[in-house]
């Protein structure tokens, strides 16, 4: 037995080493290529500065569709195509005005309508203000103390969470549903504290919706002015607040997901997707949210092609439209995948900014986590140490779950994301070139390993 076993073990041992060296060398070449010749930062600079804000339904969103399609065609990928998506068309209209008067004249404050809000009446709304930091407080105050007033939802983002994105979830739901909650008690409008730990002059917008026909307007106030208003309210509970907003919701508009493919050599009808969302809020260049993810996704395909890697599975970059205020692009992609019976080995979403890579969240069977952890030494060597199961990998890939073995969220360092998120300072100047490139390289690395080793362990 010994004589038979030993050579077999040695063979396995050496194969293992050769394999590992090969992967290590390929991954090194991926990082080197992107860090020295990568296009992701230049592409993002163009998107931010030559196109700029690209809210769903806008002329700029259409320009972004056309330009990214052209960029991908110029790369010579095997196939570049559009998927038709009907998207909402909400407009901010003329810039908002807002002030409060605590008895000594009008004090201007900086607000921005939340996406989806109705306009105020033409002359604006003026009323007293009730400040709360939870729906429980709203309930306690009730109609008696709320009717005819603004509700000021002044809940700061909790700084104590080491992963600050956990603090986002705690307040974002209040942004989404605050207007309808306040309307139940007869409020005339909502003033929502911007979701950021910074105290500054940038209002952070974001999606809201109405759960009933009783619609009232809702605006984000910058944190500097939220602090000021709160302070003044303590001294003058009867102060008057005023805002005027000019939003409109027009009929849905035809838009597109932009998709590029490198065909798989062994399993061309099995897909590995990398994606981000092409739309942004109207206030921002959408550099970190999510021009970064879009350009990283294109960069993954560019790098695979540049290095002559021949993937077994078809690799797709998907630039989803309308993540911010409808998620229609993600829904449409999943609908078409189902219709066309396209099995997805994995879909990887980058929508947490172009910061230094930290790891991946896996939404799928634990066998996928086990598989990814089999590459731990390599992942660790590139700082990708935070690998875990999670119930959420990404908004756009979420609907694809029934057609995918696993969904994976790329997780860069979260600390600076909410400094810029949905605000006018989300610009290219706040993106670090190396961090952005390292993210693209990390995604490429995972695609390379997933494609090479597959997920045979997982029942598909």
CA 182 from centroid of its chain's CA atoms:
27
Strand partners, 218: 190
CA distance 184 to 249: 23
Nearer to a copy of itself, 332 or 416 (CB): 416
Q: Which span sits near a copy of itself by CB under 8 A: 28-36, 112-120, 129-137, 143-151?
A: 28-36
Q: Minimum distance from CB of 138 to a copy of itself (Å)?
A: 25
Give the length of the chain.
460
Residues 171-210 that bind a copy of itself (CB under 8 A): 197-198
CA distance 326 to 329: 8
74 is catalytic: no
Residues 371-400 that bind a copy of itself (CB under 8 A): 380, 382-383, 385-386
Task: By CB under 8 A, tell whether 426 contacts a copy of itself.
Answer: no
Q: Minimum distance from CB of 435 to a copy of itself (Å)?
A: 5
Task: By CB under 8 A, tell whether 413 contacts a copy of itself.
Answer: yes
Contacts of 359 (CB under 8 A, 6+ apart): 379, 384, 385, 386, 387, 388, 411
- Beta strand pairing status for 240-244 and 125-132? antiparallel
Task: By CB under 8 A, tell whether 59 contacts a copy of itself.
Answer: no
Active-site hit among 96, 261, 299, 323: 323
Nearer to a copy of itself, 170 or 380 (CB): 380
Nearer to a copy of itself, 163 or 269 (CB): 163
CA distance 306 to 302: 6
Q: Which span sits near a copy of itself by CB under 8 A: 80-88, 141-149, 316-324, 410-418?
A: 410-418
CA distance 259 to 322: 15
Structure letter (DSSP) for residue 115: B
Could you tell me how many residues of this chain bind a copy of itself (CB under 8 A)?
26
Interface characters, 345-364, with a copy of itself (x: CB under 8 A): -----------x-x------
Q: What is the DSSP string of 373-429?
A: HTTHHHHHHTT--EEEE-S-S-TTTGGGGGGEEEEEEEEE--TTHHHHTTSTT-SGG
Q: Minimum distance from CB of 110 to a copy of itself (Å)?
A: 20
- The catalytic residues are 323
Name the site residues for a copy of itself (rule: CB under 8 A).
31-32, 35-36, 159-160, 162, 164, 197-198, 356, 358, 380, 382-383, 385-386, 413, 415-416, 419, 432-435, 438
């Amino acid at each position: 037995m010994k004589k038979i076993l030993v050579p077999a073990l040695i063979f396995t041992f050496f194969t293992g080493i050769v394999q590992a060296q090969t992967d290590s060398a390929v991954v090194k070449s991926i990082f080197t290529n992107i860090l020295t010749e990568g296009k992701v930062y230049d592409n993002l600079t163009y998107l931010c500065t030559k196109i700029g804000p690209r809210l769903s339904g806008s002329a700029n969103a259409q320009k972004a569709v056309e330009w990214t399609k052209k960029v991908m065609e110029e790369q010579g990928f095997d196939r570049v195509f559009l998927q038709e998506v009907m998207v909402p068309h909400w407009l901010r209209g003329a810039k908002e005005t807002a002030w409060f008067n605590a008895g000594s004249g009008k004090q201007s404050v900086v607000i921005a309508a939340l996406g989806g809000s109705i306009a105020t009446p033409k002359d604006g709304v003026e009323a007293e203000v009730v400040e709360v930091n939870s729906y429980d407080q709203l309930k306690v105050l009730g109609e008696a103390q709320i009717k005819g007033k603004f509700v000021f939802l002044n809940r700061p983002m909790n700084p104590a969470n080491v992963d600050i994105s956990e603090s986002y979830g705690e307040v974002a739901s209040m942004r989404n549903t605050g207007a309808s909650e306040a309307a139940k008690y007869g409020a005339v409008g909502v003033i929502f504290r911007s979701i950021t730990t910074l105290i500054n002059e940038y209002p952070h917008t974001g999606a809201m919706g109405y759960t009933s026909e009783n619609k009232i307007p809702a605006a984000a106030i910058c944190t500097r002015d939220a602090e000021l208003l709160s302070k003044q309210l303590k001294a003058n509970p009867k102060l008057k607040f005023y805002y005027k907003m000019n939003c409109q919701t027009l009929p849905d508009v035809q838009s597109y997901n932009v998709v590029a493919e490198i065909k798989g050599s062994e399993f061309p009808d099995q897909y590995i997707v990398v994606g981000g969302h092409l739309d942004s809020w109207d206030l921002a260049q959408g550099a970190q949210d999510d021009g970064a993810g879009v350009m990283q996704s294109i960069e993954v395909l560019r790098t695979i092609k540049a290095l002559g890697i021949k993937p077994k599975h078809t690799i797709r970059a998907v630039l989803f439209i309308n993540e911010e205020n409808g998620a229609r692009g993600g829904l449409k992609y999943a609908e078409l995948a189902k219709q066309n019976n396209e099995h997805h080995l994995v879909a990887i979403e980058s929508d947490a900014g172009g910061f230094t890579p930290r790891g991946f969240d896996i939404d799928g069977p634990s066998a996928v986590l086990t598989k990814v952890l089999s590459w731990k030494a390599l992942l660790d060597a590139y700082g990708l140490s935070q690998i875990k199961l999670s119930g959420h990998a990404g908004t756009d890939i979420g609907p694809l779950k029934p057609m995918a073995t696993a969904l994976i969220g790329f997780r860069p360092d979260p600390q600076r994301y909410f400094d810029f998120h949905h605000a006018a300072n989300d610009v290219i100047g706040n993106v670090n070139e190396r961090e952005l490139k390292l993210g693209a390289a990390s995604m490429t690395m995972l695609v390379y390993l997933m494609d090479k080793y597959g997920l045979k362990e997982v029942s598909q």
